[in-house]
Structure 1
């Protein structure tokens, strides 16, 4: 057995330095396409509640033709906020499919944030009306910020943002972060904000319905990020029955996404739009929803990009990992 095998470790700072939004967008798009073409496999998701109050999950998959194999172990630990830490935690491992040996271990927090933002951006580009000018955002955390950043980048007409917070209070830091890019202000009435918006993005922990179904007007598009576990939801009861539903993975969305609340709702996978296997044919009065549960393939294509870039730049810690 070889005794000179190495394992590359990429920490938070190294990952953040190597991640570029446009490159992540391309890697995430590739993941959707591979999934649609049946070349990339997504294995059953592990997503379980812990006695500590956290949620632990594993997303894994492979692309056999490309020698790409790996997983992300991740979850949500709300008590981390009391410690001054980030509640979302993730670690990605790339594995040599020929031997089963680990090749690279990557801090997955920034990867998860960026690839989810990029997936949301692709959803907006495919499904939202190009002339959308008004957006309602639920949440002001890390994921809400990246979703809004991609939205402002990909919807050029977008100029007005109303946001809602869990405590119903304005978030001055959030407003300052985006004030130079749009007219941003706190929504005093979330139902009114939804009714006046062309795009709605929900990026919360998924603790319950965020607004009333009747507030969603014809022509609205919704990106839903927070429902990623059995029992979570952000959309009100009865809304999915009125919409044209799009998902990243049909089976996964019915298991842990918004679609779990209306599993018989017809849906289309976003990757099929990107490959031309399906068409949107959006009518002006259609309400569209993109139920985002996150694909393992997104983590793997972005992780491979980081592994290659780190090798070229000689970034990271290489440690002996002999057989």
Structure 2
């Protein structure tokens, strides 16, 4: 382990070299369990507009039993695209809870993508029918790709993917990435694709419903990824009231997630379904996992990266007096 008087720096290349899909799944599962059994805490969220579509946010928390404390500063800067840079920006600070000293400063972009993909994978493992064969994907960007990646990893029965794009045009990049792993087809009509699907994944920045309520069949599972800010919405009116609605954090989902549009719906946290409770999915239920992303996901992954970097000699260490 890096001594407390050193500050470990991990750039994007270091994070990508160290972080595996399996490690991320393990970390995110632990984060959800710690959050729901209250051995971990999430502190008040900061998410503020800086004008236009630019958003600045801070997510922080701790898990005392793991001696884990830290925060992620992240947001959305759309003007970055014109500069050839990623519009999503994130940086993670891992701290020593005993002294308050910084232990590590990590690029958070890849962590955010991976931990969100892993959360979607856990949602599918716990809430989708195990014999699911067809998935409908909304979006073709970075988060849509990582969601599909994890879905195919955790649900081997998936063989067919229909994807819907905002422009209504096929994505050759998406098809090239995933055609070796599944049969993937562009779907020009959203409702038709949803009606055929066992699993629906929405990973867009939309502020209006992407499909109609009537298109969703009994037994369908939906991972709602895109709504993470007030005003965002991907699911149609009336769906949540008829679904078994699961979230990562109840208060945050009501504030920022799809659940902001259904304030009277009963919510259940995904962490309560992970231990061996004997819970089983009702076969004909429509299930929705409303994903807003919690600080403990970033924190557990950051701790794992800190340990892995020490074991593999990755990153730079700076004296931090």
The TM-score, its normalising length taken from structure 1, stands at 0.96
The 5 Å alignment of 1:119-130 reads 119-130=119-130
Return the alpha-carbon distance in structure 2 between the equivalents of residues 281 and 16 of structure 1. 35
Residues 127 and 280 of structure 1 are in contact (CA less than 8 Å); yes or no, is this contact kept in structure 2? no
Matched, 1:28 2:39: no
Q: What SS does structure 2 have at the residue aligned with 1:161?
A: strand
Deviation at 1:280, TM superposition (A): 4.0
Return the alpha-carbon distance in structure 1 between the equivalents of residues 149 and 179 of structure 2. 12
The residue number in structure 1 matching 2:298 is: 299
Using a 3 Å threshold, how does the CA distance of structure 1 residues 276 and 42 change in structure 2: closer, same or farther?
A: farther
The residue number in structure 1 matching 2:56 is: 56
RMSD value, Cα: 1.4
Q: What SS does structure 2 have at the residue aligned with 1:222?
A: strand
The residue number in structure 1 matching 2:260 is: 260
Return the alpha-carbon distance in structure 1 between the equivalents of residues 51 and 28 of structure 2. 33
Matched, 1:319 2:318: yes
Deviation at 1:275, TM superposition (A): 2.2
Return the alpha-carbon distance in structure 1 between the equivalents of residues 271 and 24 of structure 2. 16
Deviation at 1:52, TM superposition (A): 5.3
The residue number in structure 2 matching 1:289 is: 288
The residue number in structure 1 matching 2:309 is: 310
Deviation at 1:128, TM superposition (A): 0.2
- Residues 47-81 of structure 1, C-alpha deviations (whole Å, 9 max, x = no match): 11112531111110001122110000001122222
- Identify which range, 125-134 or 279-288, moves more after superposition: 279-288
Using a 3 Å threshold, how does the CA distance of structure 1 residues 14 and 306 change in structure 2: closer, same or farther?
A: same
Deviation at 1:22, TM superposition (A): 0.4
Deviation at 1:276, TM superposition (A): 4.2
Q: Would you say how many aligned residue pairs link Structure 1 and Structure 2?
A: 319
Return the alpha-carbon distance in structure 2 between the equivalents of residues 51 and 176 of structure 1. 37
Return the alpha-carbon distance in structure 2 between the equivalents of residues 80 and 207 of structure 1. 21
Return the alpha-carbon distance in structure 1 between the equivalents of residues 59 and 206 of structure 2. 19
The residue number in structure 2 matching 1:245 is: 245
The TM-score, its normalising length taken from structure 2, stands at 0.97
The residue number in structure 1 matching 2:19 is: 19
Deviation at 1:281, TM superposition (A): 2.9
The 5 Å alignment of 1:207-222 reads 207-222=207-222
Return the alpha-carbon distance in structure 2 between the equivalents of residues 34 and 73 of structure 1. 21
Q: Which runs of 4+ in 1 moved over 6 A?
A: none
Give unmatched runs, 5+ long, in structure 1.
Answer: none
The residue number in structure 1 matching 2:105 is: 105
Return the alpha-carbon distance in structure 1 between the equivalents of residues 10 and 50 of structure 2. 27
Matched, 1:115 2:105: no
Q: What SS does structure 1 have at the residue aligned with 2:149?
A: helix
Return the alpha-carbon distance in structure 2 between the equivalents of residues 115 and 283 of structure 1. 27
Return the alpha-carbon distance in structure 1 between the equivalents of residues 281 and 311 of structure 2. 43
Return the alpha-carbon distance in structure 1 between the equivalents of residues 319 and 228 of structure 2. 36
- Identify which range, 109-118 or 35-44, moves more after superposition: 35-44
- Identify which range, 47-56 or 138-147, moves more after superposition: 47-56
The residue number in structure 2 matching 1:133 is: 133
Deviation at 1:270, TM superposition (A): 0.5
Give unmatched runs, 5+ long, in structure 2.
Answer: none
Deviation at 1:6, TM superposition (A): 1.5
Return the alpha-carbon distance in structure 1 between the equivalents of residues 254 and 276 of structure 2. 23
Residues 201 and 224 of structure 1 are in contact (CA less than 8 Å); yes or no, is this contact kept in structure 2? yes
Q: What SS does structure 1 have at the residue aligned with 2:120?
A: helix
